[in-house]
Amino acid sequence: MAATADQSTDGGTTPAYFVSTPIYYVNDRPHLGHAYTTVAGDVLTRWHRQRGEKVWYLTGTDEHGQKILRTAEANGVTPQEWCDKLVEEAWKPLWQHLEIANDDFVRTTQERHTARVQEFVQDLYDKGEIYKGGYSGPYCVGCEEYKLPAELLDGATEGEKLCPIHKKPVEWLEEENYFFKLSAYGPKLLEFYAANPGFIAPESARNEVLRFVEQGLQDLSISRSTFNWGVPLPWDEKHVLYVWVDALLNYITAAGYGADPERFAELWPASVHLVGKDILRFHAVIWPAMLMAAGLPLPKRVVANGWLMVGGEKMSKSNLTGIAPTDLTSHFGVDAYRYYFLRAIPFGTDGSFSWEDFTARYTSELANDFGNLASRVAAMVGKYFDGALPASTAHGDAEQAVADGLAAAVGTADRKIGEELDFAGGLAAIFEFVKQVNGYLTEQEPWKVAKDDSAEGRARLATILYTAAESLRATAVLLNPVMPATAEKLWLSLGAAEGLGALADQTVAGAAQWGLLPVGTTVTKGEILFPRLEEKPAS
C-alpha cells in the first residue's frame, strides 16, 4: 500500500486518473485470477503516475451477502470475524507482496461505505426509482445473482439446473423484494453507448452488452429479507440491500460521495473500471443505470479482462490445481510474475498459465535479453572506464538509429499501455527496443574496439557504452511500472540517481529524450536482475 488517498490527490478539482479493480469476495483467499486484474490496474496507474498525472488506484473487498455468510457459518465464526481475518491475513498481505500501490482499500463493512450506501438508496427510493414487489426465480449463490431460466445448464438428475459459470445447482428463491426500475433505462443506456463508443472495451464485450440491453431489461430485485448480512434498507430494516448494489457503490463511497464534495469532484467519474468479463453486465448495465437514476456522472470506461483458465475452465477457487500466486513468486520472483501474465496474454482474451511458457519467457526475455544486457554493459564500463560513464563524442548513424528506436518504442508503449490497455503490445515494443540494443552491441563489438588504444578507438568505445547505458536508463523508466524492484536495481547500477534523482520522479516523456544520463556517473555491476531459475518445485 503506497500512499493514502490524501497524499495522492491534491484536494483541488483537477480530475485525477481514477482506476478501480472489482472488490473481491472474501469467502476465500485470493488466487491467480484476482491477482491478474489487480496487477493490471497497478501497472496502468503506475504508468499514468509516471506520465506525471495525478492518479488514484482503488481496490477492496466485497464482504456482504449470502456467500460470505454461509462460509462464515460453516467455519463457526461471525461473518465480520471471517472478513476481518481474511482481509488482514490473506488479501492485504498478497497485494503488499505483489507491490500493488493502491491509494485506498475499501471494505463494504466499513461505516464510511454503509452510511453512504443507505443515503444513496434512500435517495433513489425518494425519487420513485424503487418499488416493492415479489419475485421468484433460480438464484446462484456463487454469482450472487438471479439467473434467467434460458441460460441454465441441465444437471445430472431430472429437473436439476446448473449455473453456467459455476456449474453448480441453482436455488429457487421466492421473496417479497424491493425493485429498482432498471427496465426504464434500456433506451437511455443504448443512447449512452452509441454516444460513447469507447465506454465498454474490448469490442467483443461491448457487443455482448449491446445485444443484452437491446433484448430489453427487467427490473432488478435489490433487497433480500431471508438473511440479514448486509446493509439494511433505511425505510424498511427487515430487508438488506442486494449485495451487488451494495458492492458497486464502493466506487463512489470510497471516492468521497456524500462525505467530501471536493474530493468527489476530483475523483469522480472514474477513468477506468477494470472488471473480469464475468461481471461485465453489472458494471456496464446496472451500474450506469443506478448512476443515471441518481443523477450522477457515469464512469468513462469499463474494460473487461479475459479469464485465466485451468484445464479449459475459468480458474476459480475450486479448480486451482493448487497454484497460489506465492508459489509462482517464490520461484520466479515478484517482478517476473507481474510481467509474465501481462506479456503472455493479450488483455481482454482468455489465457492459460503454464510453467513451461513462464520459464521460457523468463529465460529468453528477462534473463537473456534484458538481464544480460544490463550486466554486460555495467561490466564493460567497469573494465574499460573504471566504472565512470564516458561521454558519447562520436554519435553517428548507428547511435542515432538506437535513439530513434527508443523514441518509437516510448510512443508505442505509451499509447498501448497508457491508453489502449494493451499491456502485451506495449511490453513487446519495449522488449523490441531491448533487442535492438543487443543487436547494436553485437554489431559494434565494443570488446574488439577496446583493443584499439588510439584516441579515436577510445572515443568510439566510449560512445558505444554510453549509447548502451543511456538505452538502459530509458528502459528502467519504461519498465518501472511493471517491474518496480528490478527497474530500481538497474537505476542504481547505472548511477542514474546521482544526476537524475529518484526513479519514481522520471517521466514517460523523459524516457524518450536522448542523452539524459549524465557523463561521469558511477556505474556498478549490482545484483543480477534475473538469476538462473532453480529446478521447478515438485507439484
Cβ distance to ligand MSP smaller for residue 119 or 278? 278
SS3 of 407, please?
Answer: helix
The closest of 241, 252, 277 to 37, measured between CA atoms, is 277
Nearest approach in angstroms of CB 405 to ligand MSP is: 34
Question: Do residues 463 and 481 lie in contact, with contact meaning Cβ atoms separated by under 8 Å?
Answer: no
Is the CB of 249 or the CB of 508 nearer to ligand MSP?
Answer: 249
Examine the residue annotation and report whether 239 is marked as an active-site residue of this protein: no
Which CB, 233 or 308, lies closer to ligand MSP? 308
Active-site residue, from 140, 147, 273, 331: 140
Least distance (Å) from ligand MSP to the CB of residue 307? Answer: 4
Residue 320 Cβ vs ligand MSP, minimum distance, rounded to whole Å: 9
Closest CA to 249 of 283, 205, 223: 283
Instruction: Say whether 34 is catalytic.
Output: yes
> Position 10: which residue type?
D
By the 8 A CB rule, do 272 and 44 touch?
yes
Single-letter code of the amino acid located at 140: C
Query: Do residues 225 and 239 touch, judged by C-beta distance below 8 A?
Result: yes
CB of 315 vs ligand MSP, minimal distance in Å: 3
Q: Position of cell 460470505?
A: 68
Q: Which residues bind ligand MSP (CB under 6 A)?
A: 22-25, 33-34, 36-37, 62, 247-248, 250, 275-276, 278-279, 305, 307-308, 314-315
CB-wise, 50 or 59, nearer to ligand MSP? 59
List the catalytic residue out of 54, 97, 166, 525: 166
Q: Which is nearer to ligand MSP, 23 or 366 (CB)?
A: 23
Residue recorded with cell 443504448: 190
143 is catalytic: yes
Residues 6+ apart with CB under 8 A from 380: 446, 447, 450, 465
> Could you tell me the smallest distance in angstroms from the CB atom of residue 303 to ligand MSP?
10
Q: Which is nearer to ligand MSP, 352 or 507 (CB)?
A: 352
Q: How far is the CB of 212 from ligand MSP (least distance, A)?
A: 17
- Catalytic residue flag (residue 48): no
Helical (H) or strand (E) element with 273? strand 272-276
83 is in an annotated binding site: no
Catalytic site includes residue 97: no
Of 344, 242, 279, the C-alpha closest to 34 is 279
The one catalytic residue among 314, 331, 416, 489: 314
Q: Which residue has the cell 497524499?
A: 7
For the chain, how big is the Rg over CA atoms in Å?
Answer: 26
Question: What is the 8-class DSSP label of residue 390?
Answer: P
User: Which of 248, 255 has the CB closer to ligand MSP?
Assistant: 248
Contact predicate 108/62, CB 8 Å: yes
For 387: left if phi > 0, alpha if psi spans -120 to 50, otherwise beta; the answer is: left
Q: Are strands 272-276 and 302-305 parallel, antiparallel or unpaired?
A: parallel
Residue in the block written with cell 547494436: 440
Tell me if 163 is assigned to a ligand binding site: yes
The minimum distance between CB 276 and ligand MSP, in angstroms, equals: 2
Q: Which of residues 222 and 247 has its CB atom nearest to ligand MSP in the complex?
A: 247
DSSP per-residue letters across 509-538? HHHTSTT-SPTT-B----S-SSPPPPPPPP
163 noted as active-site residue: yes
In 3D space, the residue among 493, 500, 503 whose CA is nearest the CA of residue 468 turns out to be 493
179: cell is 425493485
Map residue 374 onto helix, strand or coil: helix
The answer to whether the beta carbons of residues 225 and 176 sit under 8 Å apart is yes
Instruction: Provide the CA 428 distance to its chain's centre, in angstroms.
Output: 18
Is position 140 annotated as part of the catalytic site?
yes
CB count within 10 Å of CB 51 equals 15
Smallest gap from residue 247 Cβ to ligand MSP (A): 4
d(CA 446, CA 442): 8
Nearest to 258 by CA among 106, 121, 125, 128: 121
Active-site residue flag, 83: no
Annotated binding residues, written as ranges, equal 140, 143, 163, 166
Active site positions, annotated: 31, 34, 140, 143, 163, 166, 314, 317
Annotated binding residues for Zn(2+), written as ranges, equal 140, 143, 163, 166
